Every structure is written in structure tokens, then in C-alpha cells.
Amino acid sequence: MRAALLAAVLLAAPWRAPGAAAQASPAPSRLSRCGVVRAQAVVDSVFLDRNATSGTIDGGDWASYLMARLGVTPLPDTSSILVAADTAHIAISGRIQDLPAEARAMLGALAALVDSSTVLTADVELLPANKGLAHFRLRGITVGVFPVPEVVLHSMLLDVGERYPALTKSGRDLYVETPPDGRVTLVSGGVRLTAPPRPAGGGSGGGGTGGTAPPPPGKGSAPCPP
């Protein structure tokens, strides 16, 4: 799971909303197995079944869902990786010691230069895109208080892009498929999906977020709360 962190990074940076906005925003949430299940339910309701015209997905649940679609599995029941979102950014943060071994190896000498309790953070934005797509782009990664130099980051992300083609060759951009009439927007604490109701007598409302469906919970997994 070498690119597990950066796959999530393309969905998300530590909580950095400025001033009063940060105080009024919900606390960050965590990556989790059940987050995949909850996010899938909203995607199905809004984009596929058209039972609702809108739905909000918690930031951690959305990140978990997209990681599962990228093939980053299995996700734990819970994790120490935090995800937060506001109307400008969606973000992820976690201590280096809490990252998967393959993700730590990806950091190479950067991880060796700092204490394992140092927090790695990333900043991602949602950019305008053509109909049927939502475009997430990684702006940068910080280890502790030090930003990763662009030349180093570029090399790291190229490797990630090779392993996860959905992130594009640059490893920096993630295009999420939506129905042509669907929208994904950032809101305080997560993302909001919107789509018009299905016309009377019409068929399916169109595609969801594309790719293969997230895997079902493993045997013995506890039921997921709504």
C-alpha cells in the first residue's frame, strides 16, 4: 500500500481553515472501513437511484470511499489518519509512525530526518472540471513545519501515478466520475453531492463515481453504524 497516503491526500491537509471559520467547522474525522459503506449509500441515493437530490458525506467517509475505489485495501475499522474539509480545501493529516510501512518507505530520507511522531500534512483543492467529472488536485505536502520541496514531491508523485493510474501520470490529479448532471462541492466538514430528480418514467440517473465498486466488508467485520 505504498501510495495509500497520497491516494488519500488527493482527497484531502491538516485542518487549516483561517480564523473564525476554523472554530466553527466540525472536528476532523477518520479514515475507516465503515466510512466506505456510509459514503456508498449516499452516492447510490443521489447519483444512481435518485432517491434524493442531495446528500452530504463526511470528509473521512469520502476519503475512505475513494481509497477503496482506488484499490487501497483493506481499510482498518478505524485509523489515526484524520481528514477535514472546508469550502476551500479537503485535507488529511497523520503522524509518520501511524502511516503504513510502504507509505513511510515512500518518504525515504525525509522520514529519517524527523521524529516518527512528526505529523505529515497535505493540502488539496477542488478545481472546476468538465461535466461528469470532479477534479481534485494536490497543492503540497508538509512534514512537520517544513514543506516538501517541489522537485522531491514531483518525483514521489510520479511513482504514485504509475501505481494508481486513476491519479493520472503526475500522481497529482484525481478525476472522479459523476453523472453529467451531478455535482460534487466542498462544504464544511465534507463534500456535498447534488443531482436533479429522475424524470418520471425515466431510467437510471447515470453513472456514479466510476471505477470498480468498493469491496464488501470482510468476514467477521462488525456492522457499520449509519
Instruction: Give dist(CA 25, CA 21) in Å, integer.
Output: 6
pLDDT for the residue numbered 157: 84
Are the C-beta atoms of 116 and 152 separated by less than 8 Å? Answer: no
Percent of the residues in the chain that have a pLDDT greater than 90, as a whole number? 31
Are the C-beta atoms of 147 and 110 separated by less than 8 Å? Answer: no
Provide the mean pLDDT of the chain: 79
C-alpha cell at 175: 478525476
pLDDT for the residue numbered 1: 45
Higher local confidence (pLDDT), 24 or 54? 54
Contacting residues for 48 by C-beta, under 8 A, at least 6 apart: 204, 205, 208
pLDDT for the residue numbered 6: 47
C-alpha cell at 85: 474539509
Contacting residues for 178 by C-beta, under 8 A, at least 6 apart: 47, 132, 133, 134, 184, 193, 207, 208, 209
- pLDDT tens column, 90-106: 888 989 888 877 677 77
Residue with cell 491538516: 14
Q: Give the start-to-end residue ranges of the domains of the chain.
A: 4-16+26-194
Are the C-beta atoms of 108 and 96 separated by less than 8 Å? Answer: no
- pLDDT tens column, 199-215: 776 555 555 554 445 55
- pLDDT tens column, 26-47: 788 898 889 999 999 999 999 9
